[in-house]
Chains A and B, each alone.
Chain A
Amino acid sequence: MIPQPKVNAPQPAVARDNAAPQTQGPTLAAPAFQLTASAASPIQKSAVPSIKKGGGSRVIVAGDTLMDLSKKIYGSIRYFNQIKAANPGKNMVVGDVYAIPEIDIPVGTALRDQKGNDKGLRDVAVAISPADYEVYRHNLSDEENQKDGEFLQLVDIMRSTGMTMDEMGEEQKSFMETKAKADNKSVGEYIAGDVSKRGYGGGSTAQWDALSPAKKADYAKRFKAIVKKIEKEAPDSIKEVIKESKSHGGGFIWEPADVEKNGAFAYTSMDWSLHAGVKFLEAVEADIAAAYPSIAHEMGGHNEYGNSQGFDVFNVALSKMPKAEQDKATAGGNSTYSAYGYMETEIWAELREDEFDSSSNHTDRPFVATAKSAPDVKHQLEAIKSTFAPKIAEALVRSIFKRAKDDDRVTADAYIKFRKDIVAVFSINI
């Protein structure tokens, strides 16, 4: 049974009016702590939901220290003074019975204390009621939502599935094994097939290599000029993306050979930079607005999103397979990330790009279908659905949706269209 708040929390307001709150409950056994009531009135920034941890007593054994006890019981060493204060005159002698004070720990603190602790984080994540969790998320500032987006997403996924990352890896492994069996393949062969179909092994640089030194120098000079123009004339929201990129050491990088090799219009190496080549330059010289979707997408979207949660799950699944199967899975030389990690971050990049999307968009479009281009968000959602175990796929998508809802860099319009696509692909109530 899952612990419930002692007082019913109010139905929280959500960040955007059109969004219903996520109401799935956790499914695992109760962790060893209790929840307290949180807000008793409509949500305010001051309403801080918390988790009660501790209570009861503990017999001291050899090697115990106050800090160890604090870490074990509350998830952090920072509460050792409260244990000490609750046991005046005692000196950690083996056999001593120590009173363990019950402490209200704010939900955010309790979660952050478990960063890097797979089971601990899951236990805290699933113990928080939907209402308390909404209050906690509502109280986060825009800056906190953006800075901790990746971590909060993991918490969301754990809440949706009720699983640790390790358990998700197990679930994904079983899913891939079942698919492999249906294809009459070993799981390593199945993954290798998937990676060869969707992964990427790199292209050539023939077009760039054929240019004369003078032509190459001319392109480089033109690129410098166009970057200046972009930085001067871009709309404010693009200037913000560029500013953020530079604060992380990124910027515009002229890398025509690598861009061609990657078969990209422009790309990022998750270095907060936009790597550009000849196609990008020529398109932007013809129309400066052609740069904005790529800047929002590559420099902004992919970098803001950070690690792909699904790729983490895939890697855990892979690590659980026999070495021979792992070797088969990765033998092809193509990138497993392209097949198992790219979809999530691409969705985020498309959500960011949507603000600058128009019929003159050179690359594929986030939501608009044309005769020669499918809406990319839907395409990536379909790829997630076919790649991951159903429970994990749904949790991944819900977590991206929630992150989009709470991040004001994603426009309300993009968020609404994203929701429609999720409903269409996953047939779920979100």
Chain B
Amino acid sequence: MQRPWVIAWILITALAACRQPLPAQSERKLGADSLPQRNEMVMNDKDLSDALHRLSSEHGADRQHAIGWLCDHPVASRPALRTFFEPLENEWPAAAAMKALECIADPADVALIDSVLASGKLCFEASMALARNPSGSALTALLLRSDDPRTEVARTAIGGLGARGDESVRPKLEQLLGNKGYEVRWATVLAIDALGPNASRAALQKCLSTEKDKDIRHKIQEVLAH
């Protein structure tokens, strides 16, 4: 069980992150929440617009290569990528834009990514982008969203917690094993598996003895057998 002050701290930090104005590229601070300088390859506006345009391609290769290019040129691409969510109009290219932001992993994008997750759209992509982001505020956002009453938001945020691989979330995940929502419990078992199940053996064993759903029981047995 989380202590009340921990939950309060998480909420306050997350709200502060959400309220922060989105910093322009030039305003990015150096420090723990900033990316190391990248050595961007020679590029021009056409390269950038080509890559942005290919995010809407039906062809996986085009999108994948565009994401790779944008990730390699974060200074130029970040402002443009953010416009895909301001507002979010077409989920197909926006999903690819989110993958590019995931790859760039700039802490200054956490508030934007969290706002997408909070909107209930592109939940998986946004959660994975938060999972990949080194910022503490990304972790805070995932923790907050893992308690969201909307199943899709909560279950993807929980997936993000597992993918992040941060041991500090283990107690929270173990707590979520007792959640009343089937989808949440399912996502939690997978998240614990991703985090490494050994340290949660006791919690999983306990859950196995009380879990009523056979699919989840089966999944726990699979995870414990690893």
Q: Mark A341-352, 1 if CB is under 8 A from B, else 0.
A: 010001000000
A294-336 interface (Cβ within 8 A of B): 294, 297-298, 334-335
For A202, what are the chain B residues with a Cβ–Cβ distance below 8 Å?
60
Contact: B53 with A214, CB < 8 Å?
no
CA A275 – CA B33 in complex, angstroms?
A: 42
Contact: A362 with B91, CB < 8 Å?
yes
Knowing A210-B124, A210-B187, the reply to whether A263 touches B53 (Cβ < 8 A) is no
Q: Which segment, of B12-20, B61-69, B138-146, faces chain A?
A: B61-69
For B182, what are the chain A residues with a Cβ–Cβ distance below 8 Å?
212, 214
CA A335 – CA B183 in complex, angstroms?
A: 37
Q: Which segment, of A57-65, A106-114, A117-125, A192-200, faces chain B?
A: A192-200
Q: Which of B53, B59, B63 contacts A346 (CB 8 A)?
A: B59
For B58, what are the chain A residues with a Cβ–Cβ distance below 8 Å?
264-267, 294, 297-298, 363-364
Q: Which of B49, B60, B128, B215 contacts A264 (CB 8 A)?
A: B60
Look across to chain B and name the residue whose beta carbon is closest to the beta carbon of A266.
B58
For A263, what are the chain B residues with a Cβ–Cβ distance below 8 Å?
59-61, 63-64
Q: Mark B80-123, 1 if CB is under 8 A from A, else 0.
A: 00011000001111010000000000000000000000000000
Contact: B61 with A338, CB < 8 Å?
yes
Contact: B59 with A264, CB < 8 Å?
yes
Contact: B59 with A214, CB < 8 Å?
no
Knowing A200-B61, A373-B56, the reply to whether A362 touches B183 (Cβ < 8 A) is no
Look across to chain A and name the residue whose beta carbon is closest to the beta carbon of B94.
A372
Knowing A210-B187, A214-B215, A374-B53, the reply to whether A198 touches B61 (Cβ < 8 A) is yes
Q: Mark B154-193, 1 if CB is under 8 A from A, else 0.
A: 0110010000000000000000000000110011001000
For A23, what are the chain B residues with a Cβ–Cβ distance below 8 Å?
none
CA A267 – CA B61 in complex, angstroms?
A: 12
For A342, what are the chain B residues with a Cβ–Cβ distance below 8 Å?
59, 61
For B57, what are the chain A residues with a Cβ–Cβ distance below 8 Å?
363-364, 376
A273-293 interface (Cβ within 8 A of B): 279, 283
For B124, what are the chain A residues with a Cβ–Cβ distance below 8 Å?
207, 210
For B186, what are the chain A residues with a Cβ–Cβ distance below 8 Å?
212
Look across to chain B and name the residue whose beta carbon is closest to the beta carbon of A364.
B56
Contact: A203 with B60, CB < 8 Å?
yes
A379 touches B (CB below 8 Å): yes
CA A379 – CA B58 in complex, angstroms?
A: 13
B221 to chain A, nearest CB (A): 14
CA A372 – CA B93 in complex, angstroms?
A: 8
B148 touches A (CB below 8 Å): no
A to B contact number (C-beta, < 8 Å): 91
CA A210 – CA B156 in complex, angstroms?
A: 8
Knowing A215-B183, A373-B56, the reply to whether A279 touches B95 (Cβ < 8 A) is yes
Q: Mark A45-75, 1 if CB is under 8 A from B, else 0.
A: 0000000000000000000000000000000
Q: Which of B49, B64, B215 contacts A203 (CB 8 A)?
A: B64
A95 touches B (CB below 8 Å): no
Contact: B92 with A372, CB < 8 Å?
no
Knowing A212-B215, A362-B90, the reply to whether A372 touches B183 (Cβ < 8 A) is no
Contact: B60 with A200, CB < 8 Å?
yes
Contact: A372 with B52, CB < 8 Å?
yes
For B93, what are the chain A residues with a Cβ–Cβ distance below 8 Å?
372-373
CA A342 – CA B61 in complex, angstroms?
A: 10
For B90, what are the chain A residues with a Cβ–Cβ distance below 8 Å?
362, 372
Look across to chain A and name the residue whose beta carbon is closest to the beta carbon of B63.
A263
For B187, what are the chain A residues with a Cβ–Cβ distance below 8 Å?
210, 212
Contact: B64 with A283, CB < 8 Å?
no
For A335, what are the chain B residues with a Cβ–Cβ distance below 8 Å?
61
For B95, what are the chain A residues with a Cβ–Cβ distance below 8 Å?
279
Q: Mark A113-140, 1 if CB is under 8 A from B, else 0.
A: 0000000000000000000000000000
B50 touches A (CB below 8 Å): yes
CA A372 – CA B77 in complex, angstroms?
A: 13
A411 touches B (CB below 8 Å): no
Contact: B61 with A199, CB < 8 Å?
yes
CA A139 – CA B155 in complex, angstroms?
A: 62
For B128, what are the chain A residues with a Cβ–Cβ distance below 8 Å?
206
Contact: A265 with B159, CB < 8 Å?
no
For B49, what are the chain A residues with a Cβ–Cβ distance below 8 Å?
374
A262 touches B (CB below 8 Å): yes
For A279, what are the chain B residues with a Cβ–Cβ distance below 8 Å?
91-92, 95
B167-226 interface (Cβ within 8 A of A): 182-183, 186-187, 190, 215-216
Q: Which of B50, B59, B84 contacts A372 (CB 8 A)?
A: B84
CA A4 – CA B120 in complex, angstroms?
A: 70
A88 touches B (CB below 8 Å): no
For B153, what are the chain A residues with a Cβ–Cβ distance below 8 Å?
none
For A89, what are the chain B residues with a Cβ–Cβ distance below 8 Å?
none
B55 touches A (CB below 8 Å): yes
Name 9 A/B residue pairs within 8 A (Cβ), A-sorted. Answer: A214-B215, A263-B60, A263-B61, A279-B95, A335-B61, A342-B59, A364-B56, A365-B56, A374-B54
Beyond the given pairs A210-B155, A364-B53, 5 more chain A to chain B contacts, judged by CB atoms under 8 angstroms and listed by A's residue number, are: A210-B156, A210-B187, A212-B186, A212-B187, A372-B53
**Which 3 residue pairs spanning A and B have beta carbons closest together?**
A263-B60, A200-B61, A374-B53
